[in-house]
């Protein structure tokens, strides 16, 4: 029946859930971080501090900053997800309590 076709059928595997959630949530966090960070710092001025020779454009600066935050947030999210998912399970006796 049509109903059977639907119910519980459309499920992502746990790994797929984890990967997409980590990618998406770290993307959102990185977008916020980029906004706040570059509202305070101008990437061109920042580049000049590290290396006077560096001719950084705004576009490249913003993009580099965004990807830096995205990778950082993704590492943070995925380690969290990994630890939560692989934590030792409470044994059956305690769970029954």
Partner 1 sequence: MNEPQAASMYESAKKIYPREIGGRFDKLSKLATVTLLGLFYFLPWLLWDERQAILFDLPARKFYLLGLTLWPQDFPYLALLLIIAALSLFFFTALAGRLWCGFACPQTVWTEAFIWMEQLTEGTRSQRMKLDKAPWSLTKFRKKASKQFLWITFSMWTGFTFIGYFTPVRELGADIFAFNIGGWTLFWGLFYGFATYGNAGYMREQVCKYMCPYARFQSAMFDKDTLIISYDEKRGEPRGSRKRSVDHKAAGLGDCIDCQLCVQVCPTGIDIREGLQYECIACAACIDACDSIMDKMNYPRGLVRYTTEHSLQSKTTHVVRPRMLVYATLLLILVGGLVTAMASRTPVILDVIRDRNSLYRELPDDLVENIYTLKIINQSNDARSFTLSVSGLEGLLLDGIDGEVHVDGGGVLSLPVRLRARRDDASGVNEILFGIEATDDASVVMEEDSRFIGPTP
Interaction site with partner 1 (CB under 8 A):
1-3, 5-7, 9-21, 24-25, 35-36, 38-40, 42, 57-60, 62-63, 82, 85-86
Contact 58, 41 (CB under 8 A): no
- CA 76 to each of CA 8, 27, 44, 53: distance values in angstroms, whole numbers, following the listed order: 31, 12, 27, 33
Minimum CB–partner distance for residue 97 and partner 1 (Å): 25
Closer to partner 1 by Cβ: residue 56 or 72:
56
Contact 80, 26 (CB under 8 A): no
Closer to partner 1 by Cβ: residue 5 or 91:
5
């Amino acid at each position: 029946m049509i109903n059977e076709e639907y119910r519980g059928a459309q499920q992502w595997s746990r790994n797929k859930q984890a990967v997409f959630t980590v990618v998406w949530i770290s993307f959102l966090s990185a977008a916020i971080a980029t906004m706040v960070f570059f509202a305070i710092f101008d990437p061109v001025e920042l580049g000049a501090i590290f290396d006077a020779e560096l001719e950084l454009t705004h576009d490249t600066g913003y993009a580099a900053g965004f990807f830096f935050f995205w990778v950082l947030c993704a590492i943070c999210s995925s380690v969290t997800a990994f630890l939560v998912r692989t934590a030792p399970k409470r044994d059956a006796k305690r769970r029954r309590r």
